[in-house]
Amino acid sequence: MDIHEYQAKELLATHGIRMPRGGLAYSPEQAAYRATEIGGEAWVVKAQIHSGARGKAGGIILCKSDNEVASAAERLLGQKLVTHQTGPGGKLINRLYIEETVPIERELYLGFVLDRKEERIMIVASSSGGMEIEQIAEQEPDSLVRASVDPGLGMQQFQAREIAFGLGLDGALIGKAVDTILGCYRVFRDFDASMLEINPLVVSKGEVIALDCKMSFDENALFRRPEISELRDKSQEDPRETFASDRGLSYVGLDGEIGCIINGAGLAMATLDMIKLEGGEPANFLDIGGGASPERVAKSFRAVLQDKNVKVILVNIFAGINRCDWVAEGVVKAIEEVGVNMPLIVRLSGTKVDEGKAILREKAPSVITADTLKDAAVAAVAALKSAQRSAA
């Protein structure tokens, strides 16, 4: 789960990290008022959306008067900002963060991620801040400093010092950078974050200041972090994914027309590949998990049908813990209760497969059945092409 920049900054502030003074605004009038409250002669108006690279997309506007702040707010609020991270649909700007400007002497990069392979928190820093980490890794690989934290010991002072030296800092700035790095580490660990990025971390008038901050959290840990789940902003999420995650389904929205209902992430990936190989495009990834009840299968149909691009549905089950008869009952339930007005291809294999097939024959004769993954993908793509032909 992602949160907004201002929310991440509020978390950082609780651990002593320095940042420009700022305030939140939902309207142009409020934005101008915030600027007066903050004081000074210049402000940045920052679009709060779940994406980085807002600056290049026009979502960060420098203003020299409260009138300019109000008109920048007027321009941004209610618009969708398209960055290279949001996809072509962009993300709706419904709040702004107004900040005092600070003079920038040096721009640094500081990032914390969970290295799942090493099972450790990794810190990556660079003296070339301001550009994205992928760019830094490509253009300035020598500027990168890394450290990884032993989970039994926690991050050590000396590790933070090494990073500060690696960033080329000296004098009093070292201690300030160490406090910032250790503070960030504590925020990351205490709130079960999966990513924390400060880009840029700047040196300004003898201080180390977080100008920007992005954070993401481990969704599996949200149950024990109510203060973080509170920060969720559904307006920033793909509505199809919100619908599915609210119902405990593991779903990722894609751009194609073939809706997929599959058990197991591996089989789901293989099915997406097979659909593409046959010349189709999947509309989603959906893993119904193990031991799925008929109700859960019907719920999955509801989630897939949220997507108006879906023209064909493919159900692919290799039942081990699952039972084909339950899945078949779920398909019948979906047809009866949800309504499936499009070609539906079902491939069942494994536990109780004969019972499952019998249920479909008897109660859902319109279903196209397939025996193998390949047959199922071929049938789904053929059904899509014929649906497209008859629509044209």
Q: Which two tokens stand for residue 68?
A: 């300019």
Q: Which of 6, 97, 109, 251 is catalytic?
A: 109
Phi, psi of 247 (to 5 degrees): -110, 15
DSSP 304-323: HHT-TT--EEEEEEEESSS-
The least CB distance from residue 305 to ligand GDP, in Å, is 35
197 binds ligand GDP (CB under 6 A): no
DSSP string over 239-286: HHHHHHHHTT-EEEE-SSSEEEEESSHHHHHHHHHHHHHTT--BSEEE
Residue of 197, 241, 257, 329 marked catalytic: 197
Q: Which of 47, 55, 56 is nearest to 5 (CA)?
A: 47
Q: Nearest distance from residue 52's CB to Mn ion, in Å? A: 6
Q: Is 197 in the site for Mn ion (CB under 5 A)?
A: no
In the list 22, 23, 200, 280, the residue contacting ligand GDP (rule: CB under 6 A) is: 200
CB of 236 to ligand GDP, least distance (A): 14
Strand order of the sheet with strand 96-100? 22-25, 96-100, 43-47, 60-63
Instruction: Copy the structure tokens of residue 323.
Output: 């039972």
Is 210 among the residues that bind ligand GDP (CB under 6 A)? no
Binding at 60: pick from ligand GDP, Mn ion, none (beta carbon under 5-8 Å per type): ligand GDP
Q: Which stretch binds ligand GDP (CB under 6 A): 25-33, 52-60, 216-224, 239-247?
A: 52-60
- Choose which of 28, 73, 155, 212 interacts with ligand GDP (CB under 6 A): 212
Instruction: Please work out the total of residues on this chain that contact ligand GDP, with binding judged by CB under 6 A.
Output: 17
Stretch that binds ligand GDP, among 44-52, 301-309, 323-331, 378-386 (CB under 6 A): 44-52
Instruction: Tell me: cis bond preceding 200? Omega within 30 of 0 counts.
Output: yes
Distance in Å, CB of 59 to Mn ion, minimum: 11
Among 199, 316, 349, 369, binds Mn ion (CB under 5 A): 199
Q: Examine residue 104 and tell whether it contacts ligand GDP (CB under 6 A).
A: yes
Residue length of the chain? 392
Residue 50 contacts ligand GDP per CB under 6 A: no
Q: What is residue 14's DSSP assignment?
A: T
Rg (CA), the chain: 25
Q: How many CA atoms lie within 13 A of 273 on its CB side?
A: 7
227 annotated ligand binder: no
Amino acid at 28: P
- Under a CB-based contact definition with an 8 Å cutoff, are residues 115 and 194 in contact? no
Q: Under 8 Å CB-to-CB from 217, ≥6 apart: which residues?
A: 1, 2, 3, 191, 192, 193, 194, 225, 228
Q: Clarify whether 185 is annotated catalytic.
A: no
* Window 132 to 191, contacts with ligand GDP (CB under 6 A): none
Whether 109 is a known active-site residue: answer: yes
Q: Binding marks (x or -) toward ligand GDP, 63..102, rule CB under 6 A?
A: ------------------------------------x-xx
Binding residues for Mg(2+): 199, 212
The residues binding ligand GDP (CB under 6 A) are 20, 44, 46, 52-55, 60, 99, 101-102, 104, 130, 199-200, 211-212
The residues binding Mn ion (CB under 5 A) are 199, 212
Active centre residues (catalytic): 109, 197
